[in-house]
Amino acid sequence: MDKFLFLFCAIFTVSLLGTLALPAEATDVTAFENPLGTGVGLRTIIQNIIAFLIGLAAFVSLAAIVYGGFRLILGAVSSDQEVARAKQIIYWAVIGLVVIGMGAAILEVVQFIL
């Protein structure tokens, strides 16, 4: 398990090194751009906030699935109670992800109708 975790961390770290070598673009530091864009209304702002919150909730749910997976792997060594708890974490995280997806679909339908 330790070798696998070390190998995973090493590959992940090496994969991030390539982004550090990307050239920086020269930008005008005195010019400020409106982050909302031009002519942005309240409806667009609310849509952007909802999209951000849905993305954040999906990320948290996926992180919970990964956390439950790690607890499942590590808990399999210690006790059956840890395995049951890890399976419960994964179960509820998947249900949360399904609810988030259904909520996003409902919002898309409502926005299309309106």
| In the block, residue with structure tokens 């952007």 | 48
Q: Report the Cα 31 to chain-centroid distance in Å.
A: 32
Using the predicted structure, report yes or no on whether residue 4 has a pLDDT greater than 90: no
pLDDT of residue 23: 57
Nearest to 36 by CA among 45, 26, 49: 45
- 32-80 per-position pLDDT tens digit: 676 666 667 788 888 889 999 999 999 999 999 999 999 998 887 888 8
Structure token digits, residue 65: 């699935």
Coil, strand or helix: which one is 8?
Answer: helix
| pLDDT surpasses 60 at 22 | no
71-112, pLDDT tens digit by residue? 998 887 888 888 899 999 999 999 999 999 999 999 889 888
**SS3 state of residue 75:** helix
pLDDT at residue 20 in the model: 59
This prediction has a pTM of: 0.61
More confident: 113 or 26: 113
Six token digits for residue 53:
């919150």
